Structures are given as C-alpha cells and as structure tokens.
Amino acid sequence: MMKTQKTKLSHEEIARYARHIILHEIGGPGQHRLKAARVLVVGVGGLCSPVLSYLAAAGVGTLGIVDDDIVSLSNLQRQIIHDTKNIGIEKTKSAEQAIKRINPHAKIEKHTLRLDESNAENILSSYDIIVDGSDNFTTRYLLSDMAEKVKKPLVSGAVGRFYGSITVLIPYEGDNPNYRDLFPSPPPEGTFPTCAEVGVVAPLPGIIGSLQAMEVIKLITGIGDPLVGRILLYDGLGATFNIIRYKKHK
C-alpha cells in the first residue's frame, strides 16, 4: 500500500468518485491515495487503452504515457483509446485527448519516445507503479530489470490471438520472483510471433488491460491480493482463467 499524501478532493471529485468512496475497502483514504499516485504506462496500444481509461476514471492523479508511435487505421480494431479522427497523430497526444474527456482532473505526462537503456531508469524512477503494455520481449526485459533496480512495482500483461496473461512483479521485497524467474531468457526469434503476424481478437486486450488496471488500483490502495508470484492465464476460446504460481530461483 502506498503512503497517503496530502491531497484534497473537491466537491465535484467527491461526487465523481462516490461509488469508490462508499466501498469500505477504498473509502476516502483510498481515493486520496489514488489521487496522489503516479502511474507510468508503457505502450499506448490494446492493453493500455483500458488501463489508461480506467485509471483515469478511477481518479489516479498523474498518468505518465510512453510511446513513440502514431495512430494507424489497423490500431483501431482494439486500441479503443484512439479514434478515426486521430489517425496519423502521436499516440501519446491521442491518449491525452481521450483521458481529458474521461476525467479533466487527471494530470498527463507524455513521453513521446522509445524506452531504452539510456532513458528508462530516469523515467521509471519518478513514478510509483509501472504498467507494461509493450508487445515485445526486449521492452519487457528492460522494464522488468529497470523496475527492479528502481524498486517500483511492475504490472505486466501480454496478449496474442485468443490468449492473454498478467502478473505483478515486486522482486525487491522478500523472496518475490522477477520476470527472469518466469522467463529466464528471451525465446528464440520467431517463437512468439507478433499480433501483426498472427492476429488478436478485438476484446482480448480489453479483458487483460482491465485486469491490469485492477491490479494497479489494488497496489495503490493496499486492498486484496495482487498477482505477485502468480501468473493469470486467460483462454478466450475456452472462456477459462487459470493461475500458475512461480518462485524466485535460488
């Protein structure tokens, strides 16, 4: 659970977040934590469209957005934070416009760049929680290594075809495992083809991204049992959820 910082909710915010505030598990203190929180979202694609939308609606105070791409027509089948009129503009700008329509109280920090070893530590260190919505193993390993280095929780999701997964990584606490305990080394090139190569059904990123948003809210407010040391696997064709536990390699 994050420490509660001094924040003040306006009358309009109290009305906006009323359904949170009446939840015993969240209440006023939890809503203040949400407002004080700084969450970095990496990749403004299918996964992080619902992540950004729900975190903004939930009242997360500051949302950082990392992406160096522009909106294309093929994105719109699943990247629901963007729309047709924004084709050709930067995804960070498109997402900012959408978030402001959802909740004008949300503060947006745009990082219109590709995350790499030269900038990742500096960017990640200024946020409380990191959300991985990337679509490649290079970025996933970079994020997991750097989030561990700067001691920030990482909520990692992945999707392809009809299948998705999500886990929460806090390896700097106790014996919690890290991403390399789950995937010791990157798979051989071509083993895991991209969504552009094999496709992805439209609602799938929405399902996994919504679960990522839920894990972020749990981490901020200190409620529930985050998916630490567990990976949740979703099969859209079979309509099944399974959880596999994994441990830190000694």
Cα–Cα distance between 146 and 148 in angstroms, integer?
A: 5
Look at residue 188 in the predicted model and tell me its pLDDT: 74
Cα–Cα distance between 195 and 40 in angstroms, integer?
A: 23
Name the nearest CA neighbour of 175 among 249, 245, 243: 249
Q: What is the mean pLDDT of the chain?
A: 94
Name the nearest CA neighbour of 98 among 52, 62, 32, 130: 52
Options 131, 195, 200, 220, the catalytic residue? 195
Cα–Cα distance between 25 and 112 in angstroms, integer?
A: 36
Tokens, residue 16:
């906006």
48 is catalytic: no
- What tens digit of pLDDT does each residue of 92-133 get? 999 999 999 999 999 999 999 999 999 999 999 999 999 999
pTM of the model: 0.95
